[in-house]
Amino acid sequence: MSPSDLVVALERARRRTEDLLEPLTDEQLTQQISRLQSPLVWDLAHIGHFEELWLLRRVGGRKAVSPEYDELYDAFAHARGDRARLPILSPQPARAYVRDVREAVLELLPNLSLDNGDPLLNEGFVVGMVVQHELQHTETMAQTLALAGLARRPPVRASVTGEVTVPSGPFTLGSTDPWAYDNERPAHDVDLAEFRIDRALVTNADYAAFVDAGGYRNRDVWSAEGWGWRKAEQADEPLFWDLTALPDAPVQHVSFHEAEAYAHWVGKRLPTEPEWEKAAKTTAADLEHMLGAVWQWTSSSFGGYPGFRAFPYAEYSEAFFGDEYKVLRGGSWFTDPLVARPTFRNWDLPHRRQIFSGLRCARDG
Ligand SMILES: [Fe+2]
């Protein structure tokens, strides 16, 4: 990675942010569209603050632009639904802050030594982290826009049927990519039994059959936790369920509970995380939409691989390890290809469905 490669990556992420926010009014940027999401202007300034924190302060040794931002834009300090009431920057100062930080970063980058032995700088890791952080937030902002009815996905259609058998045997789970996150490392061999996985994602038409057959009232196909969620939420179809949507488009906005219930209903199950990754790495040519269509729920909880070391900070992934969060793989139609890699691990609570989430079924071989 040369400094000019890093500039290209930074600028590409920024273009995505600008393209998303440019058409919006100040009111759309500042309002609390949903308690599940931050006001968009918070995400915007938070992107700048993360970049300031890691590149200007941590790497560049600069002083804080405004010490109060550390608390205002700390994702752990305030729930998303409370952020509109904080004294956060309004759109114009937020844009100016983000722009000023970027200008200072572009001045700093040519002077950085990327092979001075600091693991943070090795291969430009910390810049890669800032780029991916921005790209991940653009997707969070796109979810907010979807909740406001302002985001439409491009037409994606499933065109294959049937299953692929993935033979038993070892494969390498995880990544050695220098920009991979700590949770993708260390790469290690895992031995799996034979399994079968669907060549296509579950479509709206597939899912409609489940809805029409009374799947949401069929206690037998839901887990105890899933049934409790369904009743409390009075869920009887996916979020934003649109019967005019393309029948052969992958279903999206389903929770883990719904994905699991659907898979049980067709006599299958969700793939485990290692199964999903093995399929993506060894049989990708036979599988449609492994990357970049909808996030695909797996049956696995989020945890560290054997030998995991938090790097460069525990709040990125380690703070979320445990049974509470389920892993999603593959990226959505909105996810930038830099993030939607076969080893990338996304995680969320099993009842969340404002995300662009769908599923692919698997079963034992
Ligand atoms: Fe963030």
Over residues 300-348, the pLDDT tens digits come to: 999 999 999 999 998 889 999 999 999 999 999 999 999 999 999 999 9
Distance 196 CA to ligand 1 centre (A): 36
CA 82 to CA 323: how far, in whole Å?
26
**Poorest-confidence range of 33-37, 251-255, 259-263?**
33-37
pLDDT tens digits for 186-242? Answer: 999 999 999 999 999 999 999 999 999 999 999 999 999 999 999 999 999 999 998
Distance 230 CA to ligand 1 centre (A): 30
The pLDDT of residue 315: 87
CA 267 to CA 363: how far, in whole Å?
8
Is residue 40 within 8 Å of residue 141, measured between CB atoms?
yes
Distance 229 CA to ligand 1 centre (A): 27
3-class DSSP state for residue 152?
A: coil
Distance 83 CA to ligand 1 centre (A): 14
Provide the Cα torsion 341, 345, 349, 355; round to 10°.
-10
Distance 46 CA to ligand 1 centre (A): 7
Neighbours of 286 (CB within 10 A): 16
- Asked whether the bond before 274 is cis by omega within 30 degrees of 0, the reply is no
The pLDDT of residue 172: 98
pLDDT tens digits for 282-297? Answer: 998 999 999 999 999 9
Residue 332 gets which letter from DSSP? Answer: B
CA 183 to CA 328: how far, in whole Å?
13
Distance 306 CA to ligand 1 centre (A): 26
Distance 152 CA to ligand 1 centre (A): 23
Distance 73 CA to ligand 1 centre (A): 9
The pLDDT of residue 3: 85
User: Which residues keep their CB under 5 angstroms from ion ligand 1?
Assistant: 75
Distance 137 CA to ligand 1 centre (A): 6
CA 308 to CA 318: how far, in whole Å?
9
Is residue 168 within 8 Å of residue 148, measured between CB atoms?
no
Distance 93 CA to ligand 1 centre (A): 19
b/e per residue, 182-218, with b = 16+ CB within 10 A?
Answer: bbbbbeeebebeebbbbbbbbbbebbbebbeeebbee
Distance 203 CA to ligand 1 centre (A): 31
Distance 321 CA to ligand 1 centre (A): 17
Distance 35 CA to ligand 1 centre (A): 17
Distance 47 CA to ligand 1 centre (A): 7
Nearest to 190 by CA among 62, 351, 343: 343
Percent of the chain clearing pLDDT 90 (strictly above): 91
pLDDT exceeds 80 at position 70:
yes
The pLDDT of residue 243: 77
Distance 235 CA to ligand 1 centre (A): 30
3-class DSSP state for residue 109?
A: helix
CA 31 to CA 123: how far, in whole Å?
39
Distance 75 CA to ligand 1 centre (A): 6
First to last CA, the chain: 42
Nearest to 353 by CA among 234, 256, 237, 253: 253
Distance 241 CA to ligand 1 centre (A): 29
pLDDT tier at 114, thresholds 50, 70, 90: confident
